[in-house]
Amino acid sequence: MPDVGARYRLRPQSVIATPRRTVDAGDEGVVWLRRFSETEEAEIWDALERGEAMRVIARWLGRAHGSIRTFVVAIAGRKPGPRGSSDLRLSVAEREEISGGGAAGLSVRAIASGLGRAPSTVCREVNANGGRRGYRAAGR
């Protein structure tokens, strides 16, 4: 009797791959799943916005239609927005102000109130980057 599951197993396809352990992977124990490149992801979203069917998109990309559906379902069917820095992160200007305040001898609480941040945020930043004496604004 032929191995029916062999038909559905994916083989290593590119360098950008994630090995997954599966129960039905036979002797190998690993099934290779290729990720979508950023270009492919953009093409998928553009095609979906045009109203293309997932099967058509999959055929065009040379992928199984289930992989398109899995990709879309994994991010709740919504196109992600552009990545930006969070308001919770300190900006370079804020780090420079912390550096200047520390050099001027201001307390952590005084620097924090000037920035409109919690004192613990400023304290954590200073301690993570050299302490009160050695702090230099790190541009991240």
Provide the pLDDT for residue 17.
45
CA distances from 126 to 90, 103, 133 (A): 12, 12, 9
Residue 82 in domain: no
pLDDT at 91 over 70: yes
Same domain, 124 and 62: no
SS3 87: coil
On whether residue 52 sits in a domain, the answer given is yes
The total of structural domains in the chain comes to 2
Tens of pLDDT, residue by residue over 32-47, are 556 888 889 889 999 9
Average pLDDT of span 17-24: 47
Contact between 31 and 5 (Cβ < 8 Å): no
Cβ atoms of residues 134 and 123 within 8 Å: no
Give dist(CA 32, CA 140) in Å, integer.
Answer: 35
Domain holding 53, by residue range, is 4-74
Predicted pLDDT of residue 106:
92
11 lies in the same domain as 60: yes
**Same domain flag for 70 and 103:** no
pLDDT tens digits, one per residue of 124-133: 999 998 888 8
Confirm whether 58 is domain-assigned: yes
pLDDT in tens, 105-130: 999 999 999 999 999 999 999 999 88
What's the pLDDT score for residue 31?
Answer: 52
